Structure 1
């Protein structure tokens, strides 16, 4: 059975998975990749597909994606295009993957033009989220995943955002019961939205991208590197979405700052100025022009009319966004 993972996950869980598969009559074949966002590349896609072909994987076989969002995205895309579609199983080992990227069937790689611009919708046959894998997750990765938990409260569940304010720090630290609730609630929320709009045709599924337009621009500006993890970028992106919504008079400033306060209190980036980027707002907007959500030359933005009241705005001025970002680039952290 082919298993795609990264070096960090293999070191922590490789022996456990190997033994489990062999005990149940399966012969594991491992492809161990470098950790990090740069693994989601054309080169690794081609090399992994060729490796799978060398194993003579058939359409009825299943490929295991053992790891975080990077491994899940790459492996899922390989499965989508190999022999016009093979089965795959998501075994997410990070909080971010367990609550978001492993569910819903989006697979992709990054290109020099931007993040996740080449991919396919390809649903996994099974998602197996074992919470014990979170025990070996570095604290920074745990925090990065928490951004996607908070997102579900901001989209359409103000009560869950309040739960995050009360319980988020304890959940991140080690509370297993709170982790189970956070993961199960988040997966249920995502599954509900995906079921309404699996291929993102009506706009409902687009709500799951809250914070991502700002966040992907920040990831591009920092070179898709460890300088800013995906979840960290999403967290800051949600803060920026809230503050921009307040700037436009859509959302109370106090509510926007409530979002920023919670994001900052748990230890995620809540200040654009604190990144000390050598760019201006126009530079960040140029990254946004490569966003896959561009439609007829316009870029829809996910904005908020309040906490739990996210909506898709198709009439946002990119010049105004650039001006807003210029302000945030020099804004003193609270």
Structure 2
């Protein structure tokens, strides 16, 4: 926990009878960053976000947003929050601007047209366009939904699976402007997803949730540092190579796969120095390769299960 966390939960739990959808979850979202809540479908991501927004009452635990207790201070907090939890009920026979105009009126925004124009520009949709919502691509529909979430210029965005179902081009577009919202507009964003590769490209901090339990919460840099990394060499004599690494380069952890293949875990060994040592000693080096775990590998290791995909 940090004193300036924008979102903080403590022991957050949601039970439906005997089923625990979320269990004792303590989440911390720092300001000015993108937090990726990562988990399989059904892991508890949507339930967590609904509890944050007061849409679902927790069975136990507390939620604080901007330091204010939820849902008790919802009237003070929610005007500062934009969210996309379920697809908005847009009218298919209206344009994007016309749809947003209805919501702006309902929300009584003080400068509705300026808010609409700014929101559409931020998600790269035209302000004056005759295309009806029914003619929008899935990516355009998702961008309009996010435009609705940011139309009142919130400080915090809570987005549930905003790239789900999009094609690669749509995913890239949504990913880019979410990143810009954080970097250029200073928004803090909590985004859930089951697409590991996209979270790895987008998030600053990551929480891994599985069966309602938050297993890991750390920065992407910290997570990458914990990922497995090892050098693998294929040489004429693996045992001789291992002795050389130990005697000349002080390497103590060496694993022999067979008579010609050895691996060195970690990040400390200089591959070039190792190859030079082998060659100078008369060994033939057929291959030297660096291997690193992916976020998928890490997810499997943390959850003790299969991949997410």
TM-score by length of 1: 0.26
Structure with higher Rg: it is: 2
Higher strand share: 2
Higher helix share: 1
Instruction: Report 1 or 2 for greater relative contact order, CA contacts < 8 Å, sequence distance ≥ 6.
Output: 2
TM-score by length of 2: 0.28
